[in-house]
Amino acid sequence: MPLQVFGVVRQGHPLPGSGRDRESVGVRLVESGDLAAAVGEIEEGSELREEDAARHLDILILLLRDGPVLPLAFGTLSPDEDAVRAEVLDPAAADLAQRLAAVDGYVETRLEIFFDEPTALREVMEADPDVRALAAETQGASSLDARIALGEAVSMQLTSWRQQQAEALLETLAPAVEDIVETESSEPLQQRWAFLVRADALERLDDTVGRLRSSLQNAAAVEYVGPLPVYSFLGQVQADTAPPRSNWEAPPTRSGSAWGW
């Protein structure tokens, strides 16, 4: 039966779940040398769906509790265990071990701040006479084109308003994290960050986010997620440790990705 490969861990890494749960999680380790791949069986010819993506992430999150995890791309399949050893673990064993060491002790968290729209709209409109004039012009009697144009102009103003707010918030957050990646959003009022955090300093970030949340109160909705595998910092980990080049590549940054995000 084909195997779905979730991630790479160290040999002897505890299986995800505890006690009796372990069997139901349906994950086992394929080990080779110092390394192991977390795999699960998958029906021949079956398609992966959104629920499988959620399961993929859940498994990696469970694994992360007990030590470093390198997430593999969702949908990585192998015909059997031998292929996992021969094609995933063995060819880049040194590189993988080095990467595991580099991410050891680090986790990723995500912070999403959705600023209150009525507040932002009012501030932007009061500050920008041009958009105000455009709004007055299209008031009540506009074509779809005109309304989209107005909305786009407003959207751009909201984006820069949000960026200003975010800059101020980042000053508070930055001292509590090792690194920051900003994640784009299609919503102008949505600010999203991924943070690289030392696992033992997570509490400090929690406190910071907690303070930030209470200072924002109703001015924004805050979603704070983690700890996740260091998805957003795989490239940087590589740069820091300068492992030997191999046939392993972190996913390239593609601005025109077919996924669109």
Partner 1 sequence: MTVATQSINRAPRPSSLADVLEVVLDKGIVIDAYVRVAVVGIELLTIDARIVIASVDTYLRFAEAVNRLDLQPDGQVSGLPGLMEEITEGGASSKTKGALSGAADKAKDAMSSLTGDEDEDEEEQPRRRPAKKTAAKRTSSSRSSSPRRRRQEG
Binding residue for partner 1 (CB under 8 A) from 36, 131, 177, 196?
Answer: 131
My answer on whether omega of the bond before 244 falls inside 30° of 0, hence cis, is: no
75-114 mask for partner 1 (x: CB under 8 A)? Answer: xxxx----xx--xx--x-----------------xx-x--
Residue 188 CA to its chain's centroid (Å): 19
With contacts defined by CB under 8 A, name the span among 13-21, 26-34, 45-53, 161-169 that binds partner 1.
45-53
What is the Cα–Cα distance from 250 to 233, expressed in whole angstroms? 10
Nearer to partner 1, 19 or 140 (CB): 140
With contacts defined by CB under 8 A, name the span among 17-25, 26-34, 53-61, 165-173 that binds partner 1.
53-61
Binding residue for partner 1 (CB under 8 A) from 16, 68, 228, 243?
Answer: 228
Tell me: does residue 257 bind partner 1 (CB under 8 A).
Answer: yes
Q: What letter does residue 40 receive in the DSSP assignment?
A: E
Bridge partners (DSSP) of residue 112 are 192, 223
What is the Cα–Cα distance from 73 to 6, expressed in whole angstroms? 8
Q: What letter does residue 178 receive in the DSSP assignment?
A: S
With contacts defined by CB under 8 A, name the span among 16-24, 26-34, 165-173, 242-250 that binds partner 1.
242-250
What element of type H or E holds 180? strand 179-183
Tell me: does residue 235 bind partner 1 (CB under 8 A).
Answer: yes
